[in-house]
Amino acid sequence: MTAHAESHSAHEKKHHGAGFYIGIWIFLLFCTAATYGAAQVDMGAWNLPVGLAIATLKGAVVCLFFMHLWGDTRANQFILILSLLFVTLMISMTLADVNTRFPLTAPPNSQRFKVNPNGQLE
Amino acid sequence: MQTDAIDHGHEAKPTHLRFQFSDSARQFHAAKFGMWLFLGQEVMFFSALFCAYAYYRNQFPDAFWHASQHLNTKFGLWETVDLLTSSLTVALAIHFIRQGKRGLTSAMLIITILCAFIFLGMHSFEYYTEFHEGLLPGRFFHPEASIHLPPESAMFFTCYFFVTVLHSIHVIIGIIVLAIILAFNLRGKYSSAYYTHVEVGGLYWHLVDLVWIFLFPLLYLIT
Amino acid sequence: MSLAVVPEAAPHEAAQEPDYIRAKSGVLSWLLTVDHKRIALLYLGTVTITFFLGGLFALALRTELLVPDHGIMDAMTYNRMFTLHGVTMVFFFMIPAIPGVFGNFFLPIMIGAHDVAFPRLNLLSYYLYLAAVILGLWGMIHGGTDTGWTFYTPYSTTTTTAVLPILAAAFINGFSSILTGVNFIVTIHTLRADGLHWMRLPLFLWSIYGTAVIQVLATPVIGITLALAGVEHFLGTGIFDPAHGGDPILFQHLFWFYSHPAVYIMVLPAFGVASELVGAFTRKPLVGYKMIALSTFGIAFVGFLAWGHHLFTSGQSAVDAGVFGFVSMLIGIFTSIKIFNWVASMYKASIYMTSPFLYTLGFFFLTVFGGMSGVALATISLDVHWQDTYFVIAHFHFIMAGGVVLMFVGGLHYWFPKMFGKLYNEGWAMVAAVLVILGFIGTFTPQFLLGNEGMPRRYYSYPPHFQFLHVTSTIFAYILGMGLLLALINLIIGLINGPRAGNNPWGAPQYEWDTPSPPPEHNFSATPVINRDPYEYRGQEIIENAN
């Protein structure tokens, strides 16, 4: 491989224009407004998943387009997915622990510690 | 010289090519892969704090909601917009250096660093306010008289301070990294053939933005 | 020829090129080196010191346990002894040793590369490790800490002992580990020579790769956890303090999320060394290459899922405990795959009995029993009885000491001729190996019995009817120490006075034995092309030792 060919090997992919990145940015600003707007609406227990879903969408867009993961090597894509998998594992198992413990072991002001006026566990 | 003992062939080697790599493309790919692995570890680094946050929000949902009301949501929104903009400018910096436009690259890097300082400034103001209102972690939680918060809200502020301070430390590291890249660019180190540092530094900066994308709804927009 | 030279390259005579030890001289050429082989020796020097330091702490506490009550130290000192033994061994020896020494030395050579992908980052990894060791020593001089190496809250956040320097040392050590992991993964992906496709990778490198993945993804979690504990100790922020709504069990979840995969950081490289030793001393190709390689990832992945088995008796919910118990047993499947393949490789083989292979046999025995005791401990109903007793200590020492240490020492003997170009005295090495293996078995088997009878771990005093087992354990601990010392002295004498080693004194088939002993600075004069499998014998002969 000659030096000339080397310097262009990294550029064989078609690259987006500057306008593409600005377009992504506008989409991200729109999503931010949507997150803020969704938080003003009371959807009960759905507020958290909706907020996280929009955040995940924004994060995915940043990864895929600003960080060039779209069309990148499989190895780079895999690292991110694997770490997110382990984060999900960590959080879900620890939450499962607190949520399935005997309720009276929870702190007195916590959601799980519920005792009715007769002093019985709810 | 180190490369004397190795025979890579008889063409002239680019000055940035290190002896252990046979060609530039491989070296560039290795640098990106290495940075992605480092970002994977950064994700895990923050994950423990997200875990603590989830753990305690799950236990004290009402207290967390009450506490979140006392954060400056408008500031949080502008901080989000600011970081998203900085992500755009750093992506554009990479875009321009790929085309060899060093001047525009420097301009984009300067704007990115400026956005980072704006973020830190706004966040410092938030901390200052919270300090004065007594909304601090753990045993320092002494809300002033006009603020009525249940005692469990202290845990919200513990999580809030830990994760935002860690995030701000990463912003500061990012500023240093970007400043070094800017300095190198001004000295003409990068070109359309070699811009690895810019790409890899940009990846790091995007992570800083990514973490904030998740922090904003989780801390400021609890309903 | 196994490693063919690229045709158009000028044939450099490797013999004319000075080896990596003689290539450059001067202290700075060693302290500021970016040569992976020299960095490996820097690690070797430091881990030898930390290993013997950790061993001294162990002998001190075992000596105290000769008598049921006050022996040579008081209770507070005893608590510091076992804490510092754990901290030194886990963070400053077990985690860095095999990857830092043999991974660094042999990874580039085995893949036909001139160095790792990021040589300067490699040097930084070493200096971060050294900084951690120095900070840890500083903490020890200031009295160390008595929290146990697990730093459980609330004690670690309220103790007045020097816990902060030790926490900081472990934190910095974590970054050394992470950067090494990044370096190794990128190296294996991007610097493999032509012809070295994945299924030709030496098995040692498969395990280094699996280890590196765990290093990168798990270590940051303990970094932040120890930082949280440190900040809580320093500022009283209350994230683990029930008085402020915190939960000490959260610390345990976060701590063990790393520390369980960490044991695989320690043991997977040992499994890798075992594969190499079996490949070399059975004089026939390894059975089940693909299964051994892929089971590495089984262990690495499932290892991330099992951390809650350390929390069985801590107050974790029964649901979680059940899940973690079940998953913990699955790891045994992947480990067994390796053991069965190694044993099958020895079946009808022409065994060349040497000291490295003796260490390997000891390794099989101790790791199998250690592993089986692990599956037993994963049974919650049994663990309720055994948790925090000597049974657990025996379990992990069988694997950590009996597995990892034996493979570190065995690997050091095996690769000694390649690294230093000298031969050591095999006779004395065999004697040392026997002492070491018998020493291990004698030290830790009584501890299984002690634990099963209810002797708690980390206890300074005990009822007199346990004394016989404690004394037995201590006597064999001294035998073990003497064996290790003998092995070290023998190697040092070999280094100074030993006969010159040829390229391949063991007659082993793997790639690294085709390079000179010691290798030249950049490993190869021209980029190699690899056209054979790593365990394929081509009639290499064993060169009998001069002595």
pTM of the model: 0.94
| pLDDT at residue C382 is higher than 80 | yes
**B151/B153 Cα distance (integer angstroms):** 5
Residue the block writes with tokens 């622990």: A97
What pLDDT is stored for residue C296 in this prediction? 96
Chain centroid to Cα C280, Å, comes to 20
* Residues 6+ positions from C40 with CB-CB distance below 8 Å: C100, C101, C102, C104, C105, C419
| Nearest C-alpha neighbor of C530 from the set C16, C15, C109 | C109
Residue C183: domain span: 35-514
The answer to whether B205 touches B178, Cβ cutoff 8 Å, is yes
Please report, for chain B, the start and end positions of each structural domain, with discontinuous segments joined by +.
44-220
In sequence order, the β-bridge partners of residue A121 are A115
pLDDT (0 to 100) of residue C94: 97
Tracing tokens 């989830």 back to the chain, one arrives at B54
Mean pLDDT confidence for C498-507: 94
Under 8 Å between Cβ of C496 and C420: no
Q: pLDDT digit string (tens) for C159-176?
A: 999 999 999 999 999 999
Q: Report helix, strand or coil for C31.
A: helix
Residue given tokens 């430390």 in the structure block: B169
Assign residue C148 a region: left if phi > 0, alpha if psi is -120 to 50, beta otherwise?
left
Confidence of residue C2 (pLDDT cuts 50, 70, 90): very low
Paired tokens of B135: 């909304």
**Assigned domain for C5 exists:** no
Task: Report the chain C residue with the minimal C-alpha distance to residue A107.
Answer: C245
Residue C307 half-sphere exposure, CB side, CA atoms within 13 Å? 27
In the predicted model, is pLDDT for residue C544 greater than 70?
A: no
Asked if residues C214 and C296 have their Cβ atoms less than 8 Å apart, the reply is no
Question: Between chains, do C242 and A107 touch, taking CB under 8 Å as contact?
Answer: yes
| Mean per-residue pLDDT, C64-93 | 96
- pLDDT digits over A49-79, tens only? 999 999 999 999 999 999 999 989 999 999 9
Interface contact B47-A111, CB threshold 8 A: no
Each residue of A25-44: pLDDT tens digit? Answer: 999 999 999 999 999 998 88
pLDDT in tens, B21-80: 988 999 999 999 999 999 999 999 999 999 999 999 999 999 999 999 999 999 999 999
Residues of A in contact with C315 (CB under 8 A): 101, 105
**Which pLDDT score, from 0 to 100, does residue C27 have?**
94
- Residue C243 confidence class, pLDDT cut points 50, 70, 90: confident
In the prediction, which pLDDT does A110 show?
80
Burial environment of residue C336 by CB neighbours within 10 A (0 to 12, 13 to 18, 19 or more): middle
User: C86 CB contacts (<8 Å, ≥6 apart)?
Assistant: C148, C149, C150
Secondary structure letter of residue C414 according to DSSP: H
Q: What CATH number has the domain spanning B44-220? A: 1.20.120.80
Report the DSSP pairing between strands C3-5 and C528-530: antiparallel
Which chains form contacts with chain B, at 3 or more CB pairs under 8 Å? A, C
What's the confidence (pLDDT) of residue B4? Answer: 41
Could B51 and A91 be called an inter-chain contact, meaning their C-beta atoms sit closer than 8 Å? yes
Band of pLDDT at residue C524, cut at 50, 70 and 90: confident
For residue C499, is the peptide bond before it cis, meaning its omega torsion is within 30 degrees of 0?
Answer: no
Tell whether the model's pLDDT for residue B3 goes beyond 70: no
Q: Model confidence at A9, in pLDDT bands (50, 70, 90)?
A: very low
Examine residue C11 and say whether the peptide bond preceding it is cis (omega within 30 degrees of 0).
Answer: no
DSSP code at position C4: E
Helices (H), A13-69: 18-40, 47-61
| A94 at interface of B, judged by CB pairs closer than 8 A | yes
Q: Does the pLDDT at position C352 exceed 60?
A: yes
Would you call B51 and C253 a contact, using CB atoms and an 8 Å cutoff? yes
The model's confidence at residue C447, banded by pLDDT at 50, 70 and 90, is: very high
pLDDT in tens, C392-404: 999 999 999 889 9
The predicted structure's pLDDT at residue B199? 96
Binned at pLDDT 50, 70 and 90, residue A19 comes out as very high
Q: What is the pLDDT of residue B180?
A: 98
Q: How many other CB atoms sit within 10 Å of the CB of residue A33?
A: 13
Are C320 and A93 an interchain contact pair (Cβ–Cβ within 8 Å)? yes
Task: Give C327's Cβ-side CA count (13 Å radius).
Answer: 21
pLDDT for position C5: 34
Looking at per-residue pLDDT, the higher value among A117 and C78 belongs to C78
pLDDT at C8 over 50: no
Residue C253: give its domain's CATH number. Answer: 1.20.210.10
pLDDT, tens digit (0-9, with 9 covering 90-100), for C162-213: 999 999 999 999 999 999 999 999 999 999 999 999 999 999 999 999 999 9
Q: Which residue of C has its CA nearest to B52?
A: C250
CA nearest to A13 within chain B: B98
CA distance to C71, C93, C271, C283, C300, per residue, from C206 (Å): 47, 21, 10, 21, 11
> For chain C, how many structural domains are there in total?
1
Given this model, what pLDDT does residue B138 score?
82
Q: How many CB atoms lie within 10 A of CB B114?
A: 15
Is the predicted ipTM greater than 0.90, yes or no?
Answer: yes
* Chain B residue whose CA is closest to A2: B11
Q: What is the pLDDT of residues C298-323, one digit of tens each?
A: 999 999 999 999 999 999 999 999 99
> Do B138 and C108 count as a contact with CB atoms less than 8 A apart?
no
Tell me chain A's radius of gyration from C-alpha atoms: 23
Closest CA to B29 of C64, A9, A39: A9
pLDDT at C233 > cutoff 60: yes
Is the pLDDT score of C12 beyond 50?
no
